[in-house]
Structures are given as C-alpha cells and as structure tokens.
Amino acid sequence: MEYVYAALLLHAAGKEINEENLKKVIEAAGIEPDEARIKALVSALEGVNIDEAIEQAVMPVAAAAPAAAPAESGAAEKKEEKKEEDESKKEEEAAAGLASLFG
C-alpha cells in the first residue's frame, strides 16, 4: 500500500508519477524500495485518470431503503431484496476494479 500512497502523494503535489519520483518518496518514508513493484505501479498507472478513479472510489453509498409497509406482498419484498443485492454487487465490482489499478 505504501507504493500507492506514494503515487497519490505525488499526484496531490502535482508531480509526475514516475519510477524516480516514487523511489524518492518511498526512501523518504524510510522504506527499502522494491524496483519491481515501482515499475509495475508506474506501468499500471499509465493512462489512468487518477482524479476520476478517486471520484469513483468515493461514490456516496446508496441511502438505505425506507421500511416496507406491513401489507407489502412477498413478491415485492423479493424484488426489493434483488435490487439491494444488485446495488451491492455494483459497489463491490467498482471497488475491485479500483483495487486492481493500484495492485
């Protein structure tokens, strides 16, 4: 994770995310840099819009569904559960996609 944090720090500072800059940040944190991980991260981030990836990662969580009326039918309840599962699945897929970007 420290490599991802270093890349985010460079991005926030407006610096180019390249092997040399990442290595400097990692060393400044007192960590022995792993050249292979640095190269892999730089390669994975090529062409990635980091601001867009961050925005997608912090999407607001869908508001909780209002409590169902007691007279609601079983079919309507199943439909609502399916809807909640689909929303949950989409959020998990988005998080997994973002995680794959940063190793």
CA distance 41 to 37: 6
Helices H / strands E in the chain, number of each: 5, 0
Ordered domains of the chain (ranges, CATH): 2-102 (1.10.10.1410)
Tokens coding 100? 């794959």
What are the pLDDT digits (tens) for 13-49?
Answer: 999 999 999 999 999 999 999 999 999 999 999 999 9
Give pLDDT, residue 76: 63
The pTM of this model reads 0.55
What are the pLDDT digits (tens) for 81-94?
Answer: 767 777 766 666 66
CA distance 29 to 42: 18
Q: Which residues contact 5 (CB under 8 A, 6 or more apart)?
A: none
